């Protein structure tokens, strides 16, 4: 998972980044709300962790902006020195899903992050998953479409599964590269484009089909689903 952390204290930010990395996730740190909201317009994250007191805004204000601009789905955790009941209520009413007081207790922090991600993105342990006319088999890295069995490479299959599990969600190029190749992998932009092109061709994910991969210029890719004439 890819997590954004909004924290203006370098030591606190470094500590949270280390904990997030130890959980197997990637993260991007931001010292100001302006920098984070700017990136949220073009980048994709699975969770936001927001400090309350910031140089240019507050965590609740960023949470409110996120809900207004990006909708209700992105989980948000507010972390702050404040612990009064009125502060907790204000933070949750602003759009946050959870609230945690500083100083951070690492085990609790891990548990809250894991719980938010688990609720927002329930993991499927099924070896075979069905998406409309497509049946994806993890064990053989094969997609069954109609009467055809289409064998994919490991990365092609991982990319296809990620897209099918997130219909209608715009995912940035950086998000997709990190999810499929890892945060530290040096992957050329055209490598992602090549994989997308191959999936479009092999799985017939083109405009007019029940599922189609849409490129959003300068941002990333989205898998659109046509259901009874309505794009999801």
Identify the H or E element spanning 114: helix 106-120
Provide the mean pLDDT of the chain. Answer: 91
User: pTM (2 decimals)?
Assistant: 0.81
Name the least confident of 72-81, 152-161, 177-186.
177-186
Residue-wise pLDDT tens digits, 188-216: 778 899 999 999 999 999 998 899 999 99
Residue-wise pLDDT tens digits, 131-178: 999 999 999 999 999 889 999 999 999 999 999 999 999 999 999 999
Query: Residue 185 — pLDDT band, cuts 50, 70, 90?
Result: low
- Percent over 70 (pLDDT), the chain: 95
Cβ-based neighbours of 25, under 8 Å, separated by 6 or more: 1, 2, 3, 46, 113
**Domains along the chain with CATH numbers:** 2-120 (3.40.50.2300), 128-231 (1.10.10.10)
Extract the tokens encoding 157: 């299959």
10-15: Cβ within 8 A, 24+ apart: 12/51, 12/102, 12/104, 15/104
Residue 44 scores a pLDDT above 50: yes
């Amino acid at each position: 998972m890819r997590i954004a952390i909004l924290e203006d204290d370098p030591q606190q930010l470094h500590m949270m980044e280390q904990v997030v990395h130890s959980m197997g996730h990637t993260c991007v740190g931001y010292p100001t709300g302006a920098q984070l909201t700017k990136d949220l317009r073009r980048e994709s994250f699975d969770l936001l962790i927001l400090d309350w007191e910031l140089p240019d805004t507050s965590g609740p204000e960023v949470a409110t902006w996120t809900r207004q601009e990006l909708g209700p789905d992105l989980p948000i955790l507010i972390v702050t020195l404040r612990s009064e009941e009125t502060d907790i209520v204000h933070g949750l009413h602003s759009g946050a899903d959870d609230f945690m007081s500083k100083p951070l207790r690492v085990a609790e922090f891990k548990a809250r992050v894991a719980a938010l991600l688990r609720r927002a993105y329930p993991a499927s342990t099924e070896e075979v998953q069905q998406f409309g006319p497509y049946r994806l088999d993890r064990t053989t890295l094969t997609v069954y479409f109609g009467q055809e069995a289409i064998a994919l490479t490991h990365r092609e299959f991982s990319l296809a599964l990620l897209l099918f599990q997130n219909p209608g969600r715009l995912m940035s190029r950086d998000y997709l590269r990190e999810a499929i190749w890892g945060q530290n992998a040096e992957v050329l932009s055209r490598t992602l484009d090549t994989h997308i092109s191959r999936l479009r061709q092999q799985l017939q994910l083109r405009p007019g089909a029940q599922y189609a991969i849409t490129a959003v210029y300068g941002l990333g890719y989205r898998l659109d689903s046509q259901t009874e004439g309505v794009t999801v």
